[in-house]
Amino acid sequence: MNMKTKRVDLLIIGGGPAGLAAACAAREAGVTNLLILEREDALGGILRQCIHNGFGLHTFQEELTGPEYAARYIARVQELGIPYECGAMVISLSPERRAVYVSRTEGIVAVEAGAVILAMGCRERPRGALGTPGWRCAGIFTAGTAQKLVNLEGRMPGKRVVILGSGDIGLIMARRMTFSGAKVLACVEIMPYSSGLKRNIVQCLDDYGIPLLFNHTVVDIHGRERLTGVTIAEVDGKKRPIPGTEQEIACDTLLLSVGLIPENELSAMAGVALSPATGGPVVDETLATNVPGIFSCGNVLHVHDLVDFVSAEAARAGEMAARFLSGEKTAGERIPLIAGNGVSALVPEVLSKRPEADVTFMFRPRAVYRNARIAVFRGGKQLAVKRARILAPGEMAEITVKQDAFCESEGELTVSVEEVGA
């Protein structure tokens, strides 16, 4: 049987916030033959189930819910006449930018694309990846799965809840489960700080009297069939449970908010180099991967704190893909960057020899830093410096280097953080 084959200038894999913003920007930059493929039944990605507000303060200067935020971009996609397919999942991608997708309406379709933007988002780390011992019973959900059940399907997974990990989805779900009639008994975080946003800790835990236990984790899971309780314990500096600190909490639900993993199986198939630091593709300042014509943005590139930042990054990916398609030379020789003291998940991780614009570096601080100085050095020369009152792993940090600065320097580039005192 002959497979249907399409040719497009730009293929955008994923119709969540990244894919939508990338598509709009590419269309506005003059790309007319483009296509968004979304595996779910509707555009919007994870925002569809994020019915809380707090989205859009940067992008729209107003506070929107997730579905409202997505709707603005979806409306724009429709206004611009950008073609999209829902229920269409890309199952392979080659370095030559040939994708194959399976669609509910079209069956198996091949797409030959001039450029590709990877915008597949991320998935949640499951219990199995943590190796939490105990029974493998019902009642253990990732926070996002519970969010989908509650917000999209109106199904309550349980009534007495413990949350392991303090990622943003876990914090948001602590509040949602409370609103929906459950008792959230505790949020347990193995680190001495939260990986979630400060505002979510205040608005989702503190406001409802939900205790947040730092340096604690779940060490045992009880219940042969349905969860009946968890044992939590305090951990030492090496994250090892401290004997004697165990306490059992009777609960029927355990929600996990223990990390997000960029979904890069397709990227790997296409030969895209992945970064152990971010879990996403290694990109340069144009969001180009090592494979010519393949760009990446959003949570598939690195996990963001705010959708507003995803949109901004994705719009740049759209513009850069448009430039690539117009034949402008993009990827030349690239130099690796060094994530220095206190810096992890640095994006971009490589840089063109001569960047054509100012470059903003984003990263996650490795720990909590007070009165910190963020600096970019090249060959001993300081290219940029910035002070921050507080830095924490839960909030992405950034620093911008002016284009001129790159021209006047040579050698290795390092981004680092240090405390400088008050």
| The two structure tokens encoding residue 413 | 């580039």
Nearer to another protein, 232 or 415 (CB): 232
DSSP string, 184-205: EEEEE-SSSS-SS-HHHIIIII
How far is the C-alpha of 304 from the C-alpha of 381, rounded, in Å?
30
CB of 175 to another protein, least distance (A): 15
Nearer to another protein, 124 or 395 (CB): 124
Nearer to another protein, 188 or 325 (CB): 188
CB of 119 to another protein, least distance (A): 15
How far is the C-alpha of 311 from the C-alpha of 256, rounded, in Å?
26
CB of 111 to another protein, least distance (A): 12
How far is the C-alpha of 367 from the C-alpha of 29, rounded, in Å?
39
**8 Å CB contact between 143 and 257:** yes
CB atoms within 10 A of CB 266: 21
Binding site for another protein (CB under 8 A): 1, 3, 39, 87, 89, 91-92, 100, 102-104, 107-108, 110, 123-124, 126-129, 131, 133-139, 141-142, 144-145, 148-150, 152-159, 180, 219-220, 224-226, 241, 252-253, 268
Nearer to another protein, 91 or 420 (CB): 91
CB of 179 to another protein, least distance (A): 10
Nearer to another protein, 243 or 327 (CB): 243
CB of 367 to another protein, least distance (A): 20
Nearer to another protein, 103 or 416 (CB): 103
Nearer to another protein, 28 or 271 (CB): 271
Nearer to another protein, 52 or 127 (CB): 127
| The two structure tokens encoding residue 229 | 């309780």
Question: In 338-349, which positions are buried (b, 16+ CB within 10 angstroms) versus exposed (e)?
Answer: ebbebbebbbbb
| The two structure tokens encoding residue 141 | 């959900």
- Give one word for 59, left, alpha or beta, with left for phi > 0 and alpha for psi -120 to 50: alpha
Beta-carbon contacts of residue 79 (< 8 Å; ≥ 6 apart)? none
Nearer to another protein, 66 or 144 (CB): 144
Nearer to another protein, 129 or 357 (CB): 129
What's the alpha-carbon Rg for the chain, to the nearest Å?
Answer: 22
How far is the C-alpha of 415 from the C-alpha of 361, rounded, in Å?
8
Nearest of 321, 324, 272, 329 to residue 301 by alpha carbon = 272
CB of 226 to another protein, least distance (A): 5
Query: What amino acid is encoded at 180 in this protein?
Result: S
CB of 28 to another protein, least distance (A): 31
How far is the C-alpha of 367 from the C-alpha of 392, rounded, in Å?
6
Query: What amino acid is encoded at 383 in this protein?
Result: L
CB of 382 to another protein, least distance (A): 35
CB of 408 to another protein, least distance (A): 40
Residue 327: HSE in the Cβ half-sphere, 13 Å Cα cutoff: 0
Helix (H, G, I), strand (E, B) or coil at 298: helix
